[in-house]
Structure 1
Amino acid sequence: MRGILQVLAICSVALAAPSQLERGNHVVHERRTIEPIGWVQSHRADADDIIPMRVGMKQQNLHMLEDLLMDVAHPDSPTYGQHWTPERVADFFAPSESTTFPQQGWIEVNVTVATAERLLDTEYHVYKHPSGAKQLGCHSYSVPEHISDHVEIIKPTVHFNHRVSEDPTRLRKRANPNHLGQPFSGQGPKTNGAKIDAALSLATCDQFITPDCLRALYNFHYTPVATAKNSYGIVEFTPQAFLAPDLDQFFTNFSSKQIGQRPTLVSIDGGKSPVYLCVVQTIAQNFNFNGESDLDLEYAMVLTNPQPITLLQTGDLVEGAGFDNWLDAVDASFCTFQGGDDPNQDGIYPDTLPGGFNQPESCGIAKPPFVVSVSYGQDEGTATHRYATRQCNEYGKLGLLGTTVLYSSGDNGVAGFGGVCQNSSGVDDDSPDAVRFNPGFPGSCSFVVSVGATQINSGATVNDPESACERVIFSGGGFSDIFPMPSYQKTAVTNFLKVHPPPYSAAQFNNSGKARGFPDLSANGANYVIAINGQFELVFGTSASSPVVGSMITMINDARIAKRKGPVGEFRDLFIELYEGFINPAIYSSKFAHAFNDITTGTNPGCATDGFTAVKGWDPVTGVGTPNFQKLLPLFLGLP
């Protein structure tokens, strides 16, 4: 309550006597990383104009999140597996004394532009769009240092929340802010264009990866028996969508009993796939629009058969979606958490544009699956600290609930999407002078499982050691510029930096020794055979690795549920101790070390360097290595 009173006091001081406000102790609270596309700064705002200022109060107890996760996720913890209920999570992290304010932790006050500028040590400008729309905002703002820990966000400031009308003929070409699911975004698997018509067997796994190759590589042999109580979710972002004939073509060749099977659709903010009667995705049918979804679902469905797969299809065709949108759908409290979604990054619904999803945003429409794989990402430098931190904390909250969230680590080595690096200011820059490594997000978040990529070397077999992926793509990895090193990886990462110090300076990467390192583990990411648009092609990417690891964790969950099967009809919350949730503390522990195949060859080049090198133990190329399922299974079954 003290923090709220301080904020109210500052507001009252600003209103009554702005000159009394000390400006010397202000600290920058938020700064816009990228200027909004299409908007042009026009002129200074009129000093006498009134701003309806909204101050979002910071949630409580977030500083305890990592420790709380360790309590339920570390294999040596006496409370391992004792996951929280959604109600407990929401209450524990709600703003302090939030019931005092009807707007869920928001304080509203009307001030003049002049007062707001003095209060926030900034300048307000009017921005204009070619459509005629106008927006009031500032490039950055500051708050007095002694209240910065109590304030999460202040609006209007750096956030652009207008979505302007467009020419209807261009709507289907419009990208969402993150370009997730868009063919020109650099997202999704890569292809070398090879068409497959050769006979495939375990003898050809160095050229063609199939489900049988993965089973042999990772000793992954398991048939699920507790599918009714288990769940595995795959997130896709519109317009990326699978094609039903592609699934059946893949099943015909690799799992004939599954012909006709489809994932269970959860439509988020208007998300649709063409297999369903309400067809929306009719822009195109080609690798760029269908490759990611086909890949994710073909392998996840076959490797976990007969486990039903939940498809979290996110965003409409007009606006699309960002990562926060699927999180809203599985956690209603996140929709308003710390100010709600970011219009610069996420889809904002209802979508009033022609053909858009004109209903309220999808908040809390589905329970979070026990395992969720997301084969998408963005450059960490394109996310504000607030956006990245807010989202990362949500992954931590899902971990407390018992959900394992996996993200692919990226396909450009130490560079960002498209091979772009950062300049000295930490901004994406494709000029030759930009040499700073460009970590990926959300894979850099400490509360997700970041999955890198390996390959079977030419001429090698499934029984030979793999190397870091260096075919078509390079395993994304490195050190975060936002997130500190979590306690669970301190020993492993510190050892890497000490024994194998990278030959790069602080100007190239965060070499403080205190940063989150990624990926956490890896799986094969080269030469995947997928059915796409009526033919078989080879694809490459950590976007293949993530759903494969997710499939293994899902089968481990199945075994744990089956081991302690409860009475028929028992509610999900009574089984929360049976599935894994946040696995990172376990996989980094010494007792799990022998359950991974250590990868000690290969690099992840980028930014005019060789990148990092795969070495003995953890490394920022392949993490702790690739899983050996038959060694992991008894370890997890032996936990409480």
Structure 2
Amino acid sequence: MHSAMQTRKQRGVPVGVAQVVLDVKDVKGGQVGSLNGHAVASFLTQWYNDDDIHQFWDDFHINYTSVVRYPPWQFPGDGTEAELDVQYLTAIGEKIPTIVMDVEDNLYFLTLLQQIGDMENPPRVVSMSYGGGEQYNTIVYCGRANIEFAKVALMGISFLASSGDSGATDSHGWCDDGRYVPNFPASSMFVTAVGGIEGGEYTDDVSDFTHEKAWYYGGGGFSWFFPRPKWQDLAVGRYLNLSSLPMQFRWNRDGKAMPDISLQAVDYAVCIDGQYYAVSGTSASCPTFAGMISTINDYRLARGKPPLGFVSPALYYLFEQDPDYYFNDVVEGHIEGCIDEGGVSFHTTPGWDACAGLGSPKFSRLFEGLVDLVASSD
């Protein structure tokens, strides 16, 4: 299991990332998350620093949030992944109580899911920036975890995972005998896979970005272990009819497709030991989107509606209703591939693609669609 990120010194916040934060704050309008809660999944002794979080909140004018450790014996630390996850989940899901759930055994996801199932008041949304190639896990382990993810979905919990930071390859940029290596648990049918994009020019129209492009390292592809769920059939089916796809032996056209959605993944300003660094990866886009879902849940709960729960079917439902209204289509770029194919695998296309999924959210419109949604189409 891994969490690969790129880090360097940073001053300020890139326009794309800053605008995402501002859009959510504008829509949220001061709603207090007293009925809500979300969590970060943490592994590999990645612990956050309380002073860094408070400095980040002060510097970017974020309202303080309740952050608790579960289990409580976690030590304060300066793990880049933990700092990134907590800072941006709390920045986007402002005022919503936050739990940092730490697992330090070799069952990883299974232990985490058991912890969630045992909680009296589990979080409504869980963001996880970790994963590993399907081929480097056993199908028995992944299959068991997939069942547990389904149980979490039935509990009304939205589980989101980073799609990976190596395109269609493994964490080292390698392929498995020429085959692509999808990232698990993003490849689970019951997990919403969040990919990465970069660039773009912001307009004044509801989170409308133009010229966004796929981030070369953003994870994408198709599961070898899990079949494509029916809510993906229309959007992904159109993509599969294209003639410009990679050679068929490299990937499974019948597998769960990923990512589901993508957000900015490059140059997030993260406070680490009192200094700011630029951190890139789907490890950044995932907690950002998780904060958006928490914000939407907040409004739904305050209006007597249930939380969104497993959100992927709802995203594909809205996409089929009006893709350009709810999403920015990403039609530039490609993602990493095998060395013997020149390091390029999938390319962006109009509509869903294996680089950026459904595209990036136009948050104020997605907020409107998901708050008003009575039931998702599954």
Fold agreement, TM-score > 0.5? yes
Counterpart residue number, 2:372: 638
Counterpart residue number, 2:328: 597
Counterpart residue number, 2:70: 266
Counterpart residue number, 1:154: none
Counterpart residue number, 2:143: 389
Counterpart residue number, 1:586: 314
Query: Does residue 1:561 correspond to 2:304, yes or no?
Result: no
Counterpart residue number, 2:212: 466
Deviations 1:160-200 (A, max 9, x none): xxxxxxxxxxxxxxxxxx4xxxxxx4x24221x2x234xx4
Query: Does residue 1:399 correspond to 2:157, yes or no?
Result: no
Give the paired residue count: 363
Aligned to 1:421, the other structure's residue is in SS state coil
1:527 to 262, 267, 271: 267
Counterpart CA distance in 2 for 1:272 and 1:236 is 13
The percent identity for this pair of structures is 29
Query: Does residue 1:293 correspond to 2:82, yes or no?
Result: yes
Note the C-alpha offset of 1:452.
0.2
TM-score normalised by structure 1 residue count: 0.54
Counterpart residue number, 2:10: 196
Matches within 5 A, 1:417-428: 417-423=171-177
Counterpart residue number, 2:55: 249
Deviations 1:527-552 (A, max 9, x none): 11111122111010001011111111
Question: Residue type matched to 1:385 in 2?
Answer: I
Counterpart residue number, 1:567: none
Gaps of 5+ in 2: 204-208
Aligned to 1:465, the other structure's residue is in SS state strand
Query: Does residue 1:328 correspond to 2:114, yes or no?
Result: yes
Deviations 1:340-386 (A, max 9, x none): xxxxxxxxxxxxxxxxxxxxxxxx24543111100000110011111
Counterpart residue number, 2:251: 509
CA separation of 1:262 and 1:500: change in aligned 2, threshold 3 A: farther
Counterpart CA distance in 1 for 2:107 and 2:41 is 11
Matches within 5 A, 1:68-79: none
Deviations 1:569-588 (A, max 9, x none): xxxxxxxx511001111111
CA separation of 1:230 and 1:262: change in aligned 2, threshold 3 A: closer
CA separation of 1:523 and 1:220: change in aligned 2, threshold 3 A: farther
- Tell whether the 8 Å contact from 2:63 to 2:95 is kept in structure 1 after alignment: no
Counterpart residue number, 1:9: none
Deviations 1:31-79 (A, max 9, x none): xxxxxxxxxxxxxxxxxxxxxxxxxxxxxxxxxxxxxxxxxxxxxxxxx
Counterpart residue number, 1:411: 165
Counterpart residue number, 1:477: 220
CA separation of 1:482 and 1:562: change in aligned 2, threshold 3 A: same
Counterpart CA distance in 1 for 2:355 and 2:190 is 18
CA separation of 1:372 and 1:256: change in aligned 2, threshold 3 A: closer
Counterpart CA distance in 1 for 2:97 and 2:119 is 18
Aligned to 2:168, the other structure's residue is in SS state coil
Query: Does residue 1:213 correspond to 2:6, yes or no?
Result: no
- Tell whether the 8 Å contact from 1:226 to 1:559 is kept in structure 2 after alignment: no
CA separation of 1:563 and 1:367: change in aligned 2, threshold 3 A: closer
Counterpart CA distance in 2 for 1:298 and 1:205 is 18
Task: Tell me the C-alpha RMSD between the 2 structures.
Answer: 2.1
Query: Does residue 1:613 correspond to 2:375, yes or no?
Result: no
Counterpart residue number, 2:235: 492
Aligned to 1:300, the other structure's residue is in SS state helix
Question: Residue type matched to 1:417 in 2?
Answer: S
Aligned to 1:516, the other structure's residue is in SS state strand
Counterpart CA distance in 2 for 1:213 and 1:454 is 14
Aligned to 2:194, the other structure's residue is in SS state strand
